[in-house]
Chains A and B, each alone.
Chain A
């Protein structure tokens, strides 16, 4: 019931940024973005080379965010006091709120095991999204002079929103996929895992039961497809929203040569909201996916009991 409500909530939340995406698509135009120099390239440009390794500008921002987060966390907790103060208080508030929130969704047992992952997802995505809004991200960097020798367009900014790079969002989605599989096997066992996906649900008997087994095998196949597609949908949702947001901000500021700065301001507020909502949605969806595969209802617990007894 709770999981259902949460899922419904996340669907509602996801609707909001989609509007933004639609608006951006209209604003950015469908022409060749690279050729017209309007809008962000879909791929993060490579700005540095360290040995054989290519460094993109979104990687640089990822590292900046990571270092800031880690240093801030360490600074806040290097001398923990019984009575919290300042940075410690902030981190305690953040961690406690997230912990209580997640506990309400996935339950006390699961949250103990998985809190580190979901909390990091939320904090890191939120930090990346909001860092990407700081002026200077996307507007400081290298450009190529055009035929007249004018330095008009910035082709390789130094920083780029970390989640405006599919590598980052796909990386988080795949890490989630791996841990989801691990947690699912830990909670259900190998037999239980497959029974959870393909096993018939509900009480049926006789011929109907045979039919149900067939139906639920097909349902299981669909389930497998949807599970395999989760990393794709998760990563493209976050990438799409952040990329669209950055694009929209750029479009708005370019729209008018004198008033562009003013036009972009309302959209900055919206991007703050989108950044928060997308971090929340990513965390909610991943946690609900985890809950769905790890939760046992009575009937299932019974079946699992048999499955583990056989092993």
Chain B
């Protein structure tokens, strides 16, 4: 039966083996020229893509780190600047206060001095006035009485006038 079937379909050992060999040659050469190199290339490409992605991830991370550190620096600089400004402001306020105090003190001193000076003037004028009044009283008395007053009279009159004025 098998040999009948083989004859019907033209199967012979020689043709069969020839086709086996042909197929094996095709398989071997395709494996050699197509599958092996292409699968290698595909594998390499896969690896390269994976690497690239990993690298991109790393770069992204580094960028984020750099950004974070830049932000931190900026914040620190900002804080420092604010602190400096605050300090300067405080220092300025302190200096202003000091200067104001100094000015006030100086003004008070000047006023006090002026007051003292005017007091002294006043006292001096009062004494001058007293002396003048005494002399005037003696003069008037002598003129009214028409007599020359003695030195004792003069002193007594002056004293009395002074007392009255003082009173």
The interface of chain A, by Cβ under 8 A from chain B, is 42-44, 53-54, 56, 59, 62-63, 66, 69-70, 73-74, 76-77, 80, 82, 84, 91-92, 95-96, 99, 115-117, 119-120, 123-124, 165-168, 170-172, 174-175, 239
Residue from A59, A80, A92, A124 within 8 A of B15 (CB atoms) = A59
The interface of chain B, by Cβ under 8 A from chain A, is 7-12, 14-20, 22-27, 29-31, 33-35, 37-39, 41-42, 44-45, 48
Closest Cβ neighbor of B36 among chain A residues = A116
Whether the pair A174, B20 counts as a contact (CB closer than 8 A) is yes
Residues of A within 8 A of B39 (CB): 95, 99, 115
Closest Cβ neighbor of A243 among chain B residues = B9
Whether the pair A73, B16 counts as a contact (CB closer than 8 A) is no
Whether the pair A175, B38 counts as a contact (CB closer than 8 A) is no
A66-B25 in contact given A92-B41, A116-B35 (Cβ < 8 Å): yes
Whether the pair A167, B11 counts as a contact (CB closer than 8 A) is yes
Whether the pair A95, B35 counts as a contact (CB closer than 8 A) is yes
In the assembled complex, how far is the CB of residue A155 from the closest CB belonging to chain B, in whole angstroms? Answer: 14
A167 to B6, CA, bound (A): 9
A171-B29 in contact given A66-B22, A77-B38, A115-B35 (Cβ < 8 Å): no
Of B18, B34, B39, chain A has the most CB atoms within 10 Å of the CB of B34
Residues of A within 8 A of B38 (CB): 77, 80, 91-92, 95-96
A73 to B23, CA, bound (A): 15
Residues of A within 8 A of B37 (CB): 77, 80
Whether the pair A73, B10 counts as a contact (CB closer than 8 A) is no
Whether the pair A56, B10 counts as a contact (CB closer than 8 A) is yes
In the assembled complex, how far is the CB of residue B40 from the closest CB belonging to chain A, in whole angstroms? Answer: 8
A69 to B26, CA, bound (A): 8
A59-B19 in contact given A69-B30, A70-B30, A92-B38 (Cβ < 8 Å): yes
A165 to B12, CA, bound (A): 11
A168 to B25, CA, bound (A): 13
Whether the pair A42, B8 counts as a contact (CB closer than 8 A) is yes
In the assembled complex, how far is the CB of residue A23 from the closest CB belonging to chain B, in whole angstroms? Answer: 21
Residue from A115, A124, A171 within 8 A of B16 (CB atoms) = A171
Whether the pair A170, B23 counts as a contact (CB closer than 8 A) is no
Whether the pair B19, A119 counts as a contact (CB closer than 8 A) is no
Q: List 17 A-B contacts (CB under 8 A).
A: A54-B14, A56-B10, A62-B19, A69-B30, A70-B33, A73-B34, A74-B33, A80-B37, A84-B41, A91-B34, A116-B30, A117-B27, A120-B23, A123-B30, A124-B30, A172-B19, A239-B9
